Chains A and B, each alone.
Chain A
Amino acid sequence: MKGFRQIIWLIRKDLALQFRTKDTLILIFVFSILVVLIFSFAFGPIFPDDPEDRAKLAASVLWTAFSFAGIITLNRSFDLERANGAIQGVRLTGVDPSNFYLSKVISTLVFLTMLELIVTPIALQFLEVLDVLPAIVQERLLLTLLKLIGVLAIGTLGFCAVGVIVSGISTSTHGKESLLSVVLLPLIFPVIMAGAKCSVSLLTTGGLEGNFWISILVVYSLVFLASAYLLFEFVIEG
């Protein structure tokens, strides 16, 4: 029970600090919108007519924006921990490193999911995806969008599961930010690949029935979450 309460306080701390400064929130929002605009200008103003091509474009934009916004968020989040030895202060309280890991995953997930909730409709509108969705998808538009947010959230969970442990490793090394990007991107490649495939499937058929990629996305995210939860103690305590 004490461990559960500690996780809650750590999550509240992360979110409170992120919302106190607001710089990360503004940075990742502006960054994501910029990615959407760049793709819109690069592929527009006349986008591909084929709904599948349009869905592929939307999936590329969303997963590119959220992957790099995630890296920025992780960097900023661990910068706050590194600054003035705050993470050592937390370690001294005797918090289980696995609980610290879980709290970071959840707080980053909450933060990025909020971003996805705001940016996804904007991206779909800018890329005019909603205009060309097949009739079967148009009929269940809200449900499809919710499923899309769900897929993005599962992908983000996988991203955070990997990203937090890599950030933890990079905390105690030199070249922190570059190490995070260099090590993290190959590790989250399966998440991005599976997430993008699921997103295309949702925007073209409105469902994931028989979709192999959703299994990959869920299994990869959960396996990494469980193993990193168990291994984080060695990352932080050495």
Chain B
Amino acid sequence: MILLQATQITKRFAHRMVLNGVDLDVQAGEVVAIFGPNGAGKTTLIKILSTLVKPTSGAFQIAGIDAIANPLRVRSSLGVVAHEPFAYLEWSPYENLKFFGRLYGVDALEERIADLLADVELTPFAHEPVRIFSRGMTQRFMIAKALIHDPTLLLFDEPFSGLDVAAKQFVLKLIQQERARGKGLILTTHDTELGYHAASRFLFLLDGQIEPVAEKAEIELTELSRQYEQRLKK
């Protein structure tokens, strides 16, 4: 089942073409890793796919719905983890999850919040303000917030950046869990090793264009890293 299908997405800021004809699709139960250096357009692509920014041209559907024409209709299918928390840091994780859960119209919200906080190991900090959290704790909170409404498609922008080894392993585990539950997931990263372990398919985003690389079964980590470094040198 195709969760997302993007065709010829372009984005121009002033005279700079950040994305230049991006084609992308994601199936249910698939994790797609997009590798690219800083400034490659990864964040812009995630913002467009999350419907927060409109593309200059192109089209994309989420669960078969035209996401550019109907952004409000598709947003409840999306769970987004971005660079910013997209939350109120004066509030605790519990308060944030309750507020956003209500806006999404989540049923049995209290149970859902308790389960999610347990999943991301934040139960002891459920009522502490998020602003005092470490980077790793904030990232776990952001993942819980992205999952509160049980979305079918997850968009993770650099989910490993700034995390220590344990926190990276934690995020990897969560990604695998969500994949096993049939979710589709796009993650952007410049770390080939983590991306390799997290994803089932790999793409490069270079000079605003997507370059398909391989399915996980078709490529070893060393070969993926070698190809990526080679493409960066070009």
Contact = CB atoms under 8 A, between A and B. Distances in A.
A89 B86 contact: yes
B52 A88 contact: yes
Given A85-B82, A238-B54, A2 B105 contact: yes
23 contacts: A9-B102, A10-B103, A17-B88, A17-B90, A20-B91, A21-B90, A80-B88, A83-B89, A84-B84, A85-B86, A86-B86, A88-B86, A89-B85, A91-B52, A92-B78, A92-B86, A93-B103, A93-B149, A94-B72, A94-B104, A95-B103, A237-B54, A237-B71
B112 to A, nearest CB: 15
A9 B105 CA distance: 11
B85 to A, nearest CB: 5
Interface size class of A (residues with CB under 8 A): 20 to 34
Most chain B CB inside 10 Å of its own CB: which residue of A83, A90, A94, A237: A94
Contacts of B145: 89
Contact of B76 (A21, A88, A94, A238): A94
Interface string B132-175: 00000000000001000100000000000000000000000000
Interface in A205-238: 237-238
A94 B86 contact: no
Nearest to B104: A93
A181 interface: no
Nearest to B77: A94
Contacts of A93: 75-76, 100, 103-104, 149
A17 B91 contact: yes
B87 A92 contact: no
Interface in A1-54: 2, 5-6, 9-10, 13, 17, 20-21
A230 B85 CA distance: 29
B86 A6 contact: no
Q: Which 10 A-B pairs have the closest CB atoms?
A: A89-B86, A85-B84, A93-B103, A94-B75, A85-B86, A84-B85, A94-B72, A88-B86, A9-B102, A94-B76
Contact of A94 (B73, B85, B88, B99): B73
A96 interface: yes
B52 A92 contact: yes
A10 B145 CA distance: 17
Contacts of A20: 90-91
A96 B73 CA distance: 10
Interface residues of B, number: 29
Contacts of B105: 2
Nearest to A90: B103
Contacts of A238: 53-54
B44 interface: no
B71 A89 contact: no
A237 B67 CA distance: 13
Most chain A CB inside 10 Å of its own CB: which residue of B90, B103, B145: B103
A234 to B, nearest CB: 12
Given A13-B99, A86-B88, 12 more contacts: A6-B103, A13-B88, A84-B86, A85-B84, A86-B85, A88-B52, A88-B84, A89-B86, A91-B75, A93-B75, A94-B72, A96-B72
Contacts of A88: 52, 82, 84, 86
Nearest to A93: B103
A89 B50 contact: no
B45 to A, nearest CB: 16
Interface string B53-80: 1100000000000000001110110101
Contacts of B104: 93-94
A12 to B, nearest CB: 8
Interface string A94-116: 11100000000000000000000
A233 to B, nearest CB: 9
A80 B87 CA distance: 10
Contact of A84 (B52, B54, B73, B89): B89
Nearest to B85: A84
B142 to A, nearest CB: 10
Given A237-B71, A238-B54, A92 B88 contact: no
B10 to A, nearest CB: 16
